Structure 1
Amino acid sequence: MSPRLIDLSVPVVDGPSEATPVEVDLLDHAAAPAALGLRPEDFPEGESISNETVTLTTHTGTHMDAPLHYGLTSGGRPAAAIDEIPLEWCHAPGVRLDLRHVPPGAAITAADLEDALAKVSHELRPGDIVLLWTGADRLWGTDAYRSQHPGMTRESTAWLVERGVRVIGIDAWGFDRPFGSMIGDYRETGDNGFLWPAHLYGREHAYCQLEKLAHLDKLPDATGFTVVCFPVKLTGLGAGWTRVVAVVGDQ
């Protein structure tokens, strides 16, 4: 039986779930001949080949954040850009952890991860790709998607990375708690440790995070699949668009 492929990505599209716009300038088939300095009659049906110019951020749609996104250094060395991520990190056994009980705005703790892992009877191995299943992708296409999700902490991120995990994915707009939750706590306490603690942990130990995953509910089990998540090779940048796919039945 051939392996089954499950798409774990959201589409790149302008809409309320993205914080920044996606702009598309289309050169359609009918206008293309003139753009090439030719006539419509020079082509069959008067149509040449089309083209699109797209303006968007590297964090639009499903994407991978590289250590360079978190800071200029990681573990005392220059932080790796997205084109420098080892390919081996991006093709590895996957582990889905069910965290749907953690409410929006709340922190996903190390204890939450430990409990979720115990329920799937799996011992983490170096290189495993861990997928955090919050269920927040059900809000894709709405404004609520950007704010109604839980998020990781420094401690929970360290709990995974110190066990050899190098890529961690989440089916939510962001990896940390929502912007409003972090800013609210910071303004109330004056403690800047509330600001992107999971991201900033990457300045201590290199790891990558996948944001805006989807369809983790379609995985047949918590383990027994391979994750393929190669980012676009954008030289020297902190993130790259990524088509994330689970391969089921290849192990």
Structure 2
Amino acid sequence: MLLYRAELDADLTLTGGGHLQARGLLVEVPHADVTRPEIAACLVTSLGLRNVDRVALTAVRIFGAPATIKGRSESRIEYVELSHVIESGMTTYPGLPAPVISAYRTWAESRAAYAEGTEFSFDRIDLIGQTGTYLDSPRHRYVDGADLAGIPLGRLADLPAVVVRLVGAERRGIDAADLEPYVVAGRAVLLHTGADRHWASERYGVDSPFLTEAGARLLADRGAALVGIDAANLDDAVPGGARPAHSVLLAAEIPIVEHLTNLSELPPLGARFTAAPPRIAGFGTFPVRAFATMPWFEPHDHTRSAGWLPTSAQQ
């Protein structure tokens, strides 16, 4: 396992006036394909600064080093659960059938088939694809679109994530202007609205946040790898209404994950996202075990909190 560092020159402009310069500075970064905005975040946090208006990076070089460094503790990986638990009888979306979990063959019923003291359970579940936290493939929207078996693993696993904070927004629609500051190419774009706090209640899905058509087009045009949301639907799910966000993203073969949870535990940058469904042919949507991974360091390593980033450094 490697730790990664960036060797850089940087010019920092402070919000209260003033200017800092760094030359040949070494900063630990979370992964090998780290972007300049992520490097800026690591730099600002490692220096303990909170009043930075702008970061200009030059002469950046990324290199790896062994995980065990003299005087330092080895890094570990932290896993963050982003899926809801699927339980028999639960409601994911009003009007859709709940899953039914039952025993096909119990432990007691299996004993006759094995040696004494050996028993197994054979469990059965009846559900529709739109249960719990699930992923939509292009086939969900388009009859000739790629199904679950047709999505490359590179679009589902270990994607660099960018978390867009939208909690407390005064309007429901997430528009292009909300996404404009973010670098999204090749990334899982996770829309953190806070709507998951109403999960399993009557309020869940009522006046839910959603992605507008303009927002979806920006993400598609800029090459997002996947789009997820912690709300009931990526679109404004009014009865009989259009579904432009699904239409735009799935036409561009960008998978969608709905009903995420726990996005507040992720930094804006630096996490890796995975949401892989079973490899089922002829199926468009299925539950996933969505999760994120992040490097974890001992408390004296300041790069653990490298998610904070001045808006101007995201350009």
Question: Shorter-chain-normalised TM-score: which range?
Answer: 0.7 to 0.9
Q: Residue 282 of structure 2 corresponds to which residue in structure 1?
A: 236
Partner of 1:70: 141
Larger Rg over CA atoms: 2
CA distance in 1, matches of 2:218, 2:249: 13
Q: Judging changes above 3 Å, is the alpha-carbon distance between structure 1 residues 71 and 103 closer, same or farther for their aligned structure 2 residues?
A: farther
Are residues 62 and 130 of structure 1, via their aligned partners in 2, closer, same or farther at CA, if it must alter by over 3 Å? same
**Residues 144 and 103 (structure 1 numbering): CA distance in 2 closer, same or farther, change over 3 Å?**
farther
> Which residue does 2:83 correspond to in 1?
9
C-alpha contact 1:232 1:240 (8 A) present in aligned 2: yes
Deviation (angstroms), 1:142: 1.3
Aligned residues: 218
Report deviation, 1:11: 1.0
Task: Assess if the C-alpha contact under 8 Å between 1:93 and 1:129 holds in 2.
Answer: yes
2:214 is the alignment partner of 1:155: yes
Distance (Å, rounded) in 2 between the aligned partners of 1:15 and 1:206: 30
Of the candidates 23, 26, 49, which is equivalent to residue 120 of structure 2? 49
Q: CA deviation at 1:148?
A: 4.2
Separation in 1 of the partners of 2:188 and 2:250? Answer: 20
Query: Could you tell me which of 184, 188, 192 is aligned with 1:129?
Result: 188
| Amino acid in the other structure paired with 1:205 | A
Q: Distance in 2 between matches of 1:215 and 1:134?
A: 11
Shift of 1:108: 1.5
TM norm structure 1: 0.79
* Partner residue in 1 for 2:3: none
Match of 1:75 in 2: none
What secondary structure, in the 3-state scheme, does the structure 1 residue paired with 2:179 have? helix
Displacement of 1:28: 2.4
Q: How far off its partner does 1:234 sit?
A: 1.1
Q: How far did residue 240 of structure 1 move?
A: 2.3
Could you tell me which residue of structure 2 aligns to residue 190 of structure 1?
none
Q: Report the CA distance between 1:203 and its aligned residue.
A: 5.7
The match for 1:21 is: 98
- CA drift at 1:198: 1.0
Partner of 1:175: 234
Deviations 1:109-165 (A, max 9, x none): 111222xxx3xxx533x2111000010111112132233421112211111111010
1:146 aligns with 2:205: yes
Structure 1, unpaired ranges of 5+: 73-77, 187-193
Distance 2:170 2:149 in 1: 35
- Does residue 227 of structure 1 match 2:285? no
Question: Within 1, Cα distance between the matches of 2:107 and 2:152?
Answer: 39
- How far residue 175 of structure 1 moved from its aligned partner, in angstroms, is 1.1
Q: Which residue of 2 aligns with 1:30?
A: 108
Residue identity opposite 1:58 in structure 2: G
The aligned amino acid for 2:152 is: P
How far apart, in 1, do the equivalents of 2:108 and 2:159 lie?
44
Deviations 1:37-74 (A, max 9, x none): x7xxx532xx62111110001111111100111112xx
Offset, 1:31: 2.9
Checking the alignment, whether the CA contact within 8 Å between 1:67 and 1:79 is kept in structure 2 is yes
| TM-score of the pair, normalised by structure 2 | 0.64
